[in-house]
Structure formats: C-alpha cells, structure tokens
Structure 1
Amino acid sequence: MDEDEDEDEDEDEDKDEDEDKDEDEDEDEDKDEDEDEDEEPHLKYQRISAQGVADIFKKDAASAILVSDRFMVIGTHWGMVHVMDFDGNEVKKYRAHAATVNDISVDLDGEHVGTASDDGKCFCTTGEIVVINYMRPVKCVALDPAYSRRASRQVVSGGLAGQLILYEKGWFGGKDTVLHADAGPIGALTWKGTLVAWADDMGVKMHDMSIAKQITFIDRPLDSPRADLYRCRMCWRSDSMLLIGWADCIKVAVVKSRPLGQQPGQPTLYVEIISVIKTDFIISGIAPYGSMTLLLAYVIDEYDTDEETSDPERQKRKSGSLPELRILDVDAEEISADALMMSGYEYYQPNDYSLEYARTGDLFYVLSPKDFVVAKSRTADDHIAWLLSRQRYAEALSSAQEEEARDSATLAPQHSVEEIGQTYLTHLFEQEDYGTAARWCPDVLKTNNLLWEQWIFAFAAEDQIKAGYCRNSCTNARNALTATIIPYLPTKDAKLSSTVYEMVLVHFLNTNHEMLLDTLQRWNSALYDAHNVAVAVEDVYQHAEGNRNLMECLAILYVAEHRPERALEYYLRLGRPDTLDLIREHNLFAEVQNKVLLLMEFDQLQSTHSTKPLDTEPPANPPLESDATKVPTQSEAVQLLVTNTDAIPVGRAVEQLREHKKLLYVYLDALFKHDPNTGFEQHNLQVDLYAEYAPEKLLPFLRISNSYSLEKAYSVCEERDFIPEMVYLLGRMGNNQKALALIIDQLGDVHRAIEFAKEQNDADLWDDLLKYSMDKPVFIKGLLENVGSNLDPVRLVSLIPEGLVIPGLKEALTKILQDFGLQLSLQNDCSKILSAHIVELTHKQISSQRRGILCSRKSAHVHLRVGPLLIVLAVLDSRGYDMSCVRRPIVLR
C-alpha cells in the first residue's frame, strides 16, 4: 500500500511539473505574439483584381509572369500571353502556344517578348513574329538584352531535350547553335549582359557569350532533392552577382575578372561562391531587396528524395501550405516573414508559384494559378500610420520631420508634422508632461504665429513652473509662462508680440544676468524695444557697477538703439575684439582721436602672446631679434591709427604716446611702413626709437628716409657703436676716407670695403683702399681675388711690399692669370664668330643685288615698244637696261 501511495504521489508531482511547463510555454508564446504584433512589417500587400486579371483566372490559370519597366506579361496554361499595365488592366493578348507557357523573357528596351511552352516552341513577337520549333517541351527562354538593337536577334532556350540552344537570325534564315547538352533537362535560364546562366540536373552553369565559352559550374548540394522536383530560381542582384535558390539552398555567386598573366588560356572571367545558405523551406522565388534578399518560401513537412516509390500514401499529392515572403539580411538572418493568403493555396505546390519584381526594387509580384498579389515597400505614410495606431507619437513626429525634409509632397495631409505635432502636444498635456511639450513646440509650431499664441496661452493656463528657470517662487500664470516656454520661443522665422520678449528679458534681468546676456546675444533686436530694455538695465547697473555681464548687455543694447558712441565706452572698457569693427562701421574716428593711448592699451590686451606690458624700458644691450621687435605693428588698432591720419593726426597721437616710448615706437614704425612720407617730421625721434627698440631696423630706415639730421643720427649711432650705420652716414656726408677706415679697422671686412669703393665710384678711394691694405695680407688676398675693371692687378701686385708673407698668394695669382687667359680666348672666339657672320651677311647682300626684277614699262621709266612678244628686262646689280641696248635680246613666247 505504501509503495502504491508513493507512486501516486510521484505521478501527481510529474503532472504538476508538466502543467507548470505548459503554462510557461503558453506565456512564452504570448510574449512572442506580442513582440510580433509590435514589430512593424517591411512590406504591404495588395491583391490585383482588375478586370484583365479576373478574366484570366475565370477562364484560365496563370503559369508564368514577367515584369518589365513598362508592362507586365502573364502566360497561362492554355498558351495565352497577356500584356498588362501595372494595375492589372489588359493592354494586349494573343495566343502564342498550344500548351502551357513555361517562361517569359523581355529585352531591356521592352520592345520584344519571348515565351517558351510545352508545345516545343519559342515565340518572339512585337513588330515581327519569330516562331522557333524544337519539337520537345521548352521550359525556359531568354532574349538577348540588346535584342531590339542587334540584327542577330539572339534567343537562348532550353528544356526537356537537355540542350541549351542559341538561335540567331542570319542572311538565309535562322540558325541554331547548341551551347551545351547531355546534362539533363534545363529548367531555368537567365541572361545578363554577356553572361548566360542556366540550371540542369547537374547544377548551374554560366556561359560568356563574348568569348563563346563556359566559365563556371556550380554543383548542387549532395543532400538536395531530385533536380526535377523543385524548380531552380535565379535572378541577378547586379551585373556581376547572381542569386540562386534551388529547393532549400541559396547560393550567391559573384563574377570576377581574372588577373592578367595568371593561368594563360583560361577565360578572363571566373565565378566565386561567396555565400551558401541552408533553409527550412522550399524556395519558390528569389529577388533582391536593397542590400537584403526577398524569398518566396513554401514550408513543407518533408520532401521525398526517392525517385521511385510504390507507396500509395507517398504518391498522393499533399495539401499545399500558405506561401510566405521572407526577408534575409546581409548576414542571412531572417528579419521578416509574412504569410500570403493566396486563393486556392491548398491545391498548389512550390512549382506553381512565381515571384517577379520591378527593376526599381520596390514592387514584388507573387503569382499563383488563380491569384495575383503585389507586395510593396512600405511608405513613410504607412510607417507613420502604424506608429500612430500604437500611440508612439514621438517616433511618428520624427519620421514625419525626416520625410518632410526630403519631400513634403509625399505625406498625406493627416500625417503632416503640424497635424501629428498637435496630436502629440495634446497627448503630452493630458499626461501632464509640460516640459516635453515645450521642447517639441518649435518643431511642431514652426512659423505659425497663431498656433504659437494658442499654445503659449495653453501653457499659461496650466500654471506650471519649470525648475531651473524660475529661481524665486512663481505664483501666477505669467511667471509660469515665462519659466516654461522661454528657451523655445520663436526668435527667427516667427515673431510674437514684443511685450512677450521684453517680459522674458526683464525676467532674466531680475534673476540671471548671465542668461540675460546670452539671450540678448542670440535674439534679434527687432524682437523687442531696445530703448525700454536699456533703461531697465541702466537702472540695475547703477547698483552693480563693474558687472561685466551688464556692461556687455548695455553695449549690445546701445548698438541696437543706434547709439554706437555710447556703446564705444563699454566696448573699450571690456576690451571686446569687435571694438575696431564698431569704430569703422560707425565712423567713430572723431570719438577716438583723444583716446589713442587707450586704443594702444586695448591692442595690448588683445595680444595673447605677450607676457609683459609693452610700455617697459628696453634692455641695456638688446639683441637683434629681441622680444621688442616682435611687437605686432600690423595689429588692427595700430593699423586703424596709421590709415586714418586725416581723422587722427600724427602729432596728436605722438603727444599722447610720448610718455610711453615703446607704444610710440610701435605706432611710428607702423606709420613708416604704411607711408614713409607721412609723419616725416617725427623721423629724428624715430632714429632714437629704432636705436633703442629695433637696431636691426635702423639702417633700412636711414637708407629710405631723407627727413632726419645726419649729424644727430651719426651721434646716436656713435653712442651705441653701430658701425654699419656710421659707415652709411659718413658716406652720405661725403667723408668716404673715414668710412673706409671704419670698415677696414673696425669691421675688417675686405668684401664690404670693396663694395663700398664700388658704390662711391671714386678713383681716389680705390687708392686709399690700396694704401690701407698694403700692411694687411688678408686684404691684399681679398683684393687679388676681386680684381676687375675698377682695380688693375698689375698695379696692385707692384704695390705689394717685398718680403710680405701673403697666405694664398699663389692661388690668387694663378686665378688672375687663368681669368686673363679665359678673357683672351673668349675675345678670339667672339671675333671669329663675328667675322663669319659678317661674311655670311655680305654674301647674302651680293646675291640679293644680283637677282632680276620684273617691272612694267611705266615703272622702268624708259620707252619700250610693245609687240606680240613679252619683253623681259635684265637687271644686274640693281641697274635696269633697255632691251634695245642689248645686241641679242632673249625673247620668251
């Protein structure tokens, strides 16, 4: 008894566990269903039921379909071919065959239609009719894509005969060429460019028509069902990528070019399989869907791979299942699956369905013997309607905004941003989410002033306070309005009452000066009355003098009020970078002619690289490239002063800067660079400034200017021992001997001495140079190396004291002799060239003088008798002779 009881208890526990598992499974299924319901479909479907299609299904059954860029073609089991528009209205029909139409092909231009049938014929029409009879059922056909453009009219077909046949038109009729045979019946065929791909019992092969060679063979998987059990489906994703769906296997083949020089004799093209996908359904159609793949799937419980069976149950035709359109992404993951409720689906098998697509890639047609459905890519309207049905307003509004940015005409009126936004704002108010509603107002209301006013009052009516915007206690609707909607008020495209904007500015003036400044910088001054706001800010500034934010606000407001002279004071005190722009724009030079020092100090503040004040004493011995020379004399403030000397006189500027020598140097240096003649009366002062702050600029200044005292300048240079400057000044004063002595004694630069002597072009100075150099071997060598027209080498050598040791004398003398020899050689060669040229020109002159000259009687200035003969005058040495003077004249007829 105890054992029985234990067994009963165990059974009860097992039952409870099973019930719990069932409940968990039910919950999982419910969750999956909910997820499916929340997942938006990728396609929408519509049954094509136009009268043309309805007539086909009423009297016949569809067997094949093709969709071109211009029309659709449907073939039937009774051999009829129907040409239709994309809505299913019949355009044309004709009986092409006596049996089932198995395949249809159209050339790229859409001018010619080819069909293949079980009656053994291929029928090509439009313009001209071509009937090709192969006596065996033809399962597939493909017209040359350029069929209408080529006289050859090539057609490739295949069928139960197991031959891939190329038909082409010749001079004496059509000609058949067998491209491939003996591999079983051919069930599928497609032609793209120069590539023809077909499927037989062995697999898929590809033929390159340009070289008339097969370039690849793609075999079927080993575990595949019989080749004739399920038709192979093929389509081209691109000119070089072929999608193959056969039974439950998908292969992606890519045609590639073989590198030059590899495997000579092989075709230039080869095929690589880049993807193989195994499915759990039979593929009844395949098409590209953007970067993804669309499949017409037919789910079966199992398929019979036995070619011969005697089991009656297995021979029975099984009831069909619903076809499905499934989408696979680039990683072969299924992202969508929609079952199609096709009429009479229970009677049809995978081979009874066809999938065709428009070349635009957004329409997909599914055909069964008695039904016709088109699948379309969902539009933005469809997506928005789906979101709205689930109250996902934010997503719907974002989608509407994106679509309107692309093309507002594509959306239905009820799906405009304004309509969806109004619905969303109402929803947010119902949810009391006022912050989100405020953030969406600019996007929804845009430039509609009336709607802005309505919603602003709606915010005010709710008496809402937004934390962070109102620092103090807000007790009325006006404050609530200010706190909530301030950041989103329209300030560009739409304009509300100026009172609204002034109220916002006053709110910030009382609560947050930084926000006030930021708002004034962002807002156009036309939104408010600048005078009213400036008065309010001035009143507050009286009690908070020195507040930089309020100073910035006043500067902005006075400019907006067209009182830039009041704003200039705050601009300078703040050191604003746009101060100079303000001066130029409003011609405020008269306002700043007494503020030159302030402008220069302002410019110093703008220099981010300077670490010391400019107005400092110079170092005792400044280097040639000191920090002093790096002062930006091209800065905007300095340039403003030097380019407007008519409004800011030089004398007045110098008087204001006289106690600030460094700033004075910067100003006068910039002035001299701008125009050396402006401020010439300050050049004596400028000599001292250059000597102190920029010695390297002094000599160029002395060379250019003529408005300084030579004696004073020499004295300044002498105090600082500026030898090059002293030499230049002595030269200008005419004391060349002293200048030359300075070069020789102080600088010891023989080359500079020679250059100085050349510049002065004084023979006595050369004598002085020779005299000063005779006790200096280095100078003698330098003179020997630079002899020329100004210096006689013979005289130089003769003056050299006996016994003086001169390093490099031998090389210098050798160079002199070599140069002399070179000169003689050049002179001789030039003389020869000149003589030859003279002789050549003389010969040309003599030859031209001896040429005869044809002249008329009048121009000869002699009386000539005119007879039946042409008289020729002989001209020798430019002298003319009358023919009568010649004893035996030459006569030409």
Structure 2
Amino acid sequence: MSDEEKPINKNGTDLDENGTDIQNGKEADKQINHNEENIENNGHHNNDNNNNNNFTHIDTDSDDEEDEPPKLKYSRINLLPPNFFNKDPLSACFFQDKYFIFATHSGIVHICTSQFETIRTFKAHRASVLSVYTDGAFFASASMDGTVVIGSILDEKDIIAYDFQRPIHCIVLDSNFATKRCFITGGMSGKVIYSSKNWLGKKTDYIIDQENGPIVGLQIVDDLIIWMNDKGINVFHLANRSIIQILEKPSDSARNDLYWPRCTQPDPDRLIIAWSNYIWSLRISLKTAEDKLLQQKTQSPISSGMSKILPSTASISFRNIQEKKIEIEHIFKLDDLICGIASFKDDLWMVLTYNPPIRDEDNSQKPMYNNPDLKLINSMNGEVEFEEELGLRNVDNLGLNDFNLGLHIEQIPKYYIISAKDGVITEEYQLQDRLNWYLDKEDYLKAYEISGHLVGFNKRLSYGIQYVDSLVKDNEWTKASEFLKTLLPVEEAQVENEIEDEEERERNEEILSQWQTWSNIFINSDHVKELTGIIPQTDKIPKEIFNKILDYWIDQDTEVVKKLLDEWSIELYDFEKIESELDKKQDANNLDTSIESALITIYNKSLQPIKSVPHLYKLKNDSIIEYCATNHILKNFITQLPNFIKLKFTNIEDINTISIDKISDKLDPIINILIDSRLEILPQEIIEIFQNANLSIINYLYLNKLKSIDNYLISNFQNEIIRLYCEFNKKLLYDFLISNNNYNVDEAIKLCEINEYYKELIYLLGKIGENKKALDLVISKLNNPEMAFEFVYKLNDKDVWLQLINKSINKYNFLKILIEKSDESTYKFYDPILILTKLEDNNKDINEEDRKKILINLKQSIIEFSKNNQLNKLIQQIILKLIYTQSQELSIFYRNEILKGIEIDNI
C-alpha cells in the first residue's frame, strides 16, 4: 500500500495494511484517554460556562433606550469539548442537517448531532484541519499536513486516510460517495483532483484543473464542481467532463489566496459565493437544445486538462448528456471583506464581514483587531438593511479565514458564528422573544399586541390591564378608555348570555368583571366622560354604574343624556330614579328641550306613552296626534284635539286665510286618524269639540270624508253637513241635497236664501211644492230658459206651464226654447202657434218695436218649428197610408178564409 493511502483507527493514528496501529501503542492509548476525558468532562465544562452562556452584541448605532426589540438574539456555544476555543482553536467547521463537524489546529475532529450530542471526537491529523465535509452518512477532513481522512459517521471501523503530500485546503464528497467512493480535493498544489477507486480497489486520481494557483474554495452541486483559484470561479460539469463556465474575479478585489471564499446553497438551483468583498448569486439550470446548438455554432468549446488525462473512450458516453447552464443573477460589491454568508428570510442574506486590524498610533503602532460585523443585505439590490457589531471573545491575531458562518434549520433557522476562539449562535427574535423583551421594558401595549397566539386569555388580558393601568397613572384617560374598548370586547352573544362553551363563558365573565372594576375606577376618578362612550350596553353590568353615568351628564349636559337614553336599553338603568332627577332639573320658567325629549324617551321605553303627551305638547310636536293614535291613547286627549291640531300651523290665523285645499292636504293624516277612530271617538264628540273651538273647517273635512266611508254615521249630521257645505264648499251642496233626505228642508232653504244659492234653493222649493216660486226664481234670478222648461216639463202642471208661458212672452230666449222644444206632450198645455199669435196680438206688456225684434229673432225657430210640423205631417200621412194598406190586406185575408170550405172527417 502506498504512503498516500493508509487506513486509520478511530483515534486518527495510522494503521498498517492489517489494520494495526503504526504508532507506539502507548502513545495511542494516551491519545484515546485524552479524547475520552474530554468527552466525559463535557457536561462539567458546560456547567462551568453557564454564566457565560448569554452573549451581548455591540451595536454602535443604537441608542441606550431602544423602542423596538433587537432583530437578532445571541447565545454562546458551550457544548463543545472543553479544550476547544481556549487551548485548541477551531480551524474548520461544517453544518449539515443532522450533523455538525468541528476541527482544530491540532488536528482533532469533533462530530456531533445538530443538538451538540457528541458522536465522535478523535485526532485525525498531525496539523491544522483546513476543511471538513459531510453528506450525512460519511465525513471527510483535509489538513495542512497533506492528509485526507474519510469515514462513516456511525461506523467507527469504516475509516481511511490518504496522503497527498501537499496541504489540502478543500475537500468535498461526490454526490454518490456511498456507492462510488469518489471525492474531490484541492489545495496548495493548485490541482483539483477527482479521486475514485478503480476496478482493483486502488485510488485513482483524475486532475480536473491545475497550474492556476492554489485552490482556496471548493463546492459540489449535484454533478457540478465549483472551485476558486487565480482564474476565478470555475464550474466543471462531471457528466460532460468539461469546464462549462469561468467567472473571473474583479481586478480590484483582494489577493486570491489571502481571503478564502464562502459558499451557501439556499435553494437546489441557486448558489451564493462570497469572496473577498464581492458576492455572486448564481442560478443553475439546464440548457435547452436550442441554447446548446447556438453555443456550438458561435463558440469554440472550452478546453480543459481533462482531455489529456481521460482516454478518448471516456468521453464518448457523455456526448449526448444535456449540459448545465450557469446564470449570473447578481454581482454585488461590498465595502467590507466577507468571512461568512447564509440565506435569511424575505430575500435577505446574512453576511459576516471582517475588518482588518488598524495600527494604534498612540501605542507604538500596535495593531487593533476588530470584531466582525453581522449584516442583513437585500439580495435584490445589495443594500444593507441591518448591521451590528458582534462581541466575540479573543479576536486578537485572528484573520478573515478564522471566521465562519453556518446555517442550520429545524423549526427555526439558527446561525452559527464561529471564530477560532469563540462560537455564538444567533437567531431571529421570535414572537416569544419579542414578548419577553417588551415585558422587560414594561411596554405592555406591544406585549398585548403580539401575544395573541403565545399566551392564554388570562395572561394576555393581564398585559392589557397593566397597559391601561400605566395610562391611568400617566393621566391618559382618553387613551385608556379607547384601549379598554378593544381589550374587553363584549359581543352580542355575550350581552344576550347565549354562550354555550364553558371556557368562552368564563372569559365573558372575566371581561364583564373587568368592566365593572374599571367603570368604578373611572367614575370615582371623575372621568365619566371617557367612560360613557365605551361601556358595553349589557344588563350584566350593575344598574348603579349606568345611573351614575346618567346623573353625571344630567348635571353637565342634558343633550348627552338625551342621546344616551336613545341608545341605551331601559333595562340598563333605574328609569324611575332618572325620571325623578330629570324632573328636578327641569326649570318651570325655562324650557329645556333636551330634558323634555329625555323624559319622552324614558316614557316610551317604559311603555308609559300617556306621560309623554304633555311633554310633546311643550315641545310643540306637530305629530302629537299621530303619536297618540299609534299608542292608542287618543281618546284620553279628546278635549286637547283642537290644541294639538293648531300645532300644525305656525300661525293659527293661517287656518282662516289659506285655501281649503292646502288645509286639507295639511290635515289629511289627522282626519284619517279621526275617521279610523270613529268607533272609539264618536262623530258627535268630534263635532262638538271643534264647534266649541271655532274650528268648523275640521268638522267639514271630517264629515266630508266620513260621508264617503260610512254614510250611516252621518245620517244624523246632514243639517250640519249642509251648513258646512254652504260655508266651505258650495260645489258639493246640490248633489248632497238631491241624494239625501234626512235634513231640515226649511233650514236648508234659509241657508240657501242667505247665501243666494238659487240652484239649490229651486230644488228645495220644488221639494216642498213651491213650484211657482221656484219657477219664478229660475226665470227671474237664474234667467235659465232650459232649466225653466225642464222644471215645468217634469212637473206636467197646467198652471205652471201657463206661468212659464206668461213670463216668457217678453223674453226671446224663453220663447225660443218653448218653440224649439215643443212636442206632442206639450201640445195639451200650449201651442207654439198660439204663442206666436198671442205675441202678434196687441199686448200691452210689449211695445211694437220689441215685438218686431222678438219675431225677427224667432224667425229661424219658427222655420225649424214649421219644418218639423210639415215633416211630422208627411210622416203621419205615410204612416196612415201604411196602416190603411196593412188593414186592407188583413181584411182580404180574413174574408177569403171565411169563404173557404171545411173538410170534416166521417166518424
């Protein structure tokens, strides 16, 4: 077996080909005992360091009193072997999902779980361990002494060492190491070596790249190998055995081998590389067939040393393998050197930056070493959104390569800041951490706001109560009241006591208890004003509290009392007590409309509407009658109806000046109410009340509408209706007279005579047989010949006809009607020819000139009359001829029938 490949025991000492210890057995035992002692003393070491577990960061930009909790919290790592950091500085570390690996400058490798439970601690190398790696099943370590150790994490016997003769800076295991046993290394030799086992079981090395400077960084992503050297960032595709991309390092960056790069892979297809003061964000994806074809046409393939090493047949099987594509998403330049990088939430990176030491001019140019800074950088634009200086111990003489930043995610992300001499865990402040911070600062408002899902109801309520208490102490009563409304919500179900869940019911009881307590505090502190708008309207709070609130406002502002009584249920307070207090407050000389309205509200809600009416009248409420009707108490205020109606008018004189139609429109709702109440309030009562109040117009409107709804009820009020029609609406009088009979005709005649309603008077005179007097009014007062003719025509009285004829002799329009309207039925009373003859006779009542005018004016009527007579005569002759013809035919028919023989059957 060659010197490059030697198996080692669990303690890291060399073994021969048979597996025996090459070193002195005594020395091996001594090393084992030393390691076991470290492990056994681990718990004791932890106890000794409990006092140092808390880590305080240094933030030079923050004030002494912070308003917001820190973004990050820190704690020291004290679960590593006791000699780590102090006697044996750390030189390398690696953080995997399940396992962590720490290595020191003395060559010791410590493997533990992610909970720092020790799995193995052994000396693997004779010099500083420069790189460690694990895939979760196997680990690998590389050292300054040129050796590489690879083994199983759980199987101590499965371990082997290789010697590459030159310092190894980096090592990674192939993605399929468990089956292929392949790994990649790089170091001072400048070679990137892909090591595997051949078919004989011997290690075979393939040089991927060389002669481009020391390898300072190495990463494997699936089947891509990425390393950093003087050329920059190199990407090698294992499947195609070719370098697919080289990203040159900017010329203004630091020397390549001075500051080693840091890598993190936040996503399977994304790699972040921080090197010197630059950050590359790379996206790894498959090239499409079109991309590959375009590359073949436009670019010559990138050459590599692989073609010199691998046989020609080795690449044949890879020709058709699809190439990977590396895309640069971002390149950011920072002002500081980077010694660690990891992904953070919300598109942020956590970056650990290194500040080189500066010379102390006052102390003989002694170098002053700085703690690293922890920054959160926006991955989209490279801006620093948060930074603070750490407070690591023993940073003197440490360079950039002595610091590391690792990430491990279980339930929450934990970031491990590792230096050669100290280790710190940092986490984002969680809700519970923020809650504790606010409580420590006595910021109970913030503690209440963020504790919704962190603590139980009672605990969270206590935070809110403490905040209210702090506001009260600071005399911030308005803020305290506003927050109480949020802190102690009372839902409708709570008010109605409909909560079925026992736990919820207990919460409700506690809330109501707190309301009672704080209500008394506000009242006793004379801060009723702030309490008024927030107190829940529930009868689970004692009435005394609501009484005190109302008492306060009765003395301060009766408008508020009115508003509260409108909003609050009558069950919340002692309404009789409040009524008494309001009565005392009311000044007999000065009307307080708010108090009157408040009393009305109490009476309405306590179902005492009768008590409201006097107050409504004081307030001149013109809807008082509607209110009484709605509450069925109108009968109790019959005598007050005239006063109530007068409230409808700004000036009572308007009732005598405005038109009937306008009054009717204004009072129509009230008249309808009176009509609807006719069986409860009899019409006789209504009429008497308004007659005595000199409001006959109301009776007119009332009886007129009642007549159209219930004609039976007005049978005893026809005389009153006639009187009201005569006064307010003559148009309705005539139709009422002719359609009704239950009225005093003599009184009606007097009213018509007084008002000179001749049409109605004529009807009434005719009704009592005063036909001649009625006809005389038609002729003398109305001068209406048609009405006179119709009147006489209906009577069919010879004397009246004679009166009409005599009165018409000297009136052209009357004579005209007599002539034109004459027919066979009038011939027995007068003959138009005789009237004309009489007109031609010497009549002393008519002078000659008037007679001639009358005859001339009647010419057309006479012509029409003559025509009608001739036509009648002709028609009568024709009819007579028809009768004669029909009679003759019937006579001949019957004669022939008589002369016929009759056949009789023999029996």
TM-score if structure 1 supplies the norm length?
0.47
Rg comparison, structure with higher value: 2
Which of structures 1 and 2 has the larger relative contact order (alpha carbons within 8 angstroms, sep 6+)?
Answer: 2
| TM-score using structure 2 length | 0.46
